[in-house]
A and B are shown apart, each in its own frame.
Chain A
Amino acid sequence: MSNEQPIAGAAILDALAAAGVEFVISVPDITTSQGLLWPLTEDRRFRLVRVCKEDEGVSICGALSFCGKRALLLIQYTGLLDSINALRAAGCDYKLPVAMMVGLLEKEPGVPPKQSARFGVRIVEPILEAMGVPHDLFELGSDAARIRPAIDRAYQESWPTALLIGRRI
């Protein structure tokens, strides 16, 4: 395992702001709760939209893109699994940019998601790959530099992307 510091919530927020994200749509996830979502509630660079279920957020992100607004859907992987049909429709069929930051609850730090002992974590990347949705794993401090390019690409190509958070922030 690397000795590098884990990715920090503040660095993620700065990267999101640099990427032009104005709206964050979220159902809380313990993976990102303390270091990211709670600080975000007081960060005036973003408008937080709390939703009851993650598929609402997929649609909100897609609709905001018509208005020229960038958004991030901040959820847990269980919510991603629950939102597959909405993502299929808005993201893949309609080719809309849906940028998702997905906490991999209880993934072992340093272990690739496909090798996790958790069944639910193991199937996340194969499902995204089956849908053609690009994904990347974010665990270490240096990973934050890849957030903005991933979001830029989603909006430039008008296609979903999944930023997987592999350890508790």
Chain B
Amino acid sequence: MLRRDQCFRILARHVTDEIVVPVYQAAQEWRVAKPDHALTFYSIGAMGQASSCALGLALGRPDKRVIVLDGDGSLLMNLGSLVSIANQRPKNLLHFVCENGAYEANGGHPIPGRDRVSFAGFARAAGYPKALEISALADFEAKIAGLLKEDGPVFVTLKLVAGDPPPQDYAYIHGAAAREAFRAALKR
């Protein structure tokens, strides 16, 4: 099984000028893994909207690769976005869902359908040309470089186990400074 913080540390070594769109706990952990990555779009706003924000960024900046670090509870709130994304077929979109089966930011309650639903199955059925699951760190490390080069939209479920809780800094994530830093980085 995978731990999100371990995955993100590996991902951080590969990310250079890609836009990264992380949600909630993934955002907190991404801040630890790559604190200086100004092309991080923290401004998800309402729960579930990361994939839609990412689609907007992918359409608006087709010259940049967009990586979504979605949550399973988050994606369940916006499953239709899988269809909308697949319909647009943005080549520059790589969509990870961090599947830990729980609403981690809201008390650890299980998501509906935990251990029964298949997020990669959802993505395939929605029309993503490629969807896979990764459940071992070595597999993630072996595949990540290729995934970052592949034409999208590509969907990857990361089958996670809980790690140590990351430091919480919602004030930064929702704050104007994060948005302005992203806006400035995107203009460079």
Contacts and interface: CB of A to CB of B under 8 A. Distances in A.
A105 to B, nearest CB: 21
B45 A89 contact: yes
Greatest chain B CB density within 10 A among A51, A55, A60, A88 is at A60
Greatest chain B CB density within 10 A among A57, A59, A67 is at A59
Given A66-B182, A90-B45, A94-B179, A56 B60 contact: no
A23 B59 contact: yes
B60 A52 contact: no
- Counting contact residues on chain B (CB < 8 A from A), the size range is 20 to 34
Contacts of A4: none
A53 interface: yes
Given A86-B49, A90-B49, A66 B186 contact: yes
Interface in A72-99: 85-86, 88-90, 93-96
Interface residues of A, number: 31
B42 to A, nearest CB: 10
A49 interface: yes
Contact of B183 (A57, A66, A85): A66
Contacts of B41: 63, 66
A69 interface: yes
B59 A49 contact: yes
B59 A64 contact: yes
Nearest to B43: A94
Given A93-B45, A94-B43, A63 B53 contact: yes
B137 interface: no
Interface in B28-65: 41, 43-46, 48-49, 52-57, 59-61
B10 interface: no
Interface in A31-55: 47, 49-53, 55
Contacts of B52: 51, 55-60, 63
A76 to B, nearest CB: 16
B80 A85 contact: no
B138 to A, nearest CB: 34
B100 interface: no
B118 interface: no
A86 B49 CA distance: 8
Given A55-B46, A88-B46, A94-B43, A64 B56 contact: yes
A141 B44 CA distance: 38
Contacts of B186: 66-67
25 contacts: A23-B59, A47-B59, A49-B59, A51-B52, A51-B81, A52-B84, A55-B46, A55-B48, A55-B78, A56-B52, A56-B80, A56-B84, A59-B45, A59-B52, A61-B56, A62-B45, A63-B41, A66-B41, A67-B186, A85-B46, A86-B49, A89-B44, A89-B45, A89-B46, A89-B49
List 8 A-B pairs, minimum CB-CB distance, nearest first.
A63-B56, A67-B60, A52-B80, A89-B45, A59-B52, A60-B56, A56-B52, A59-B49
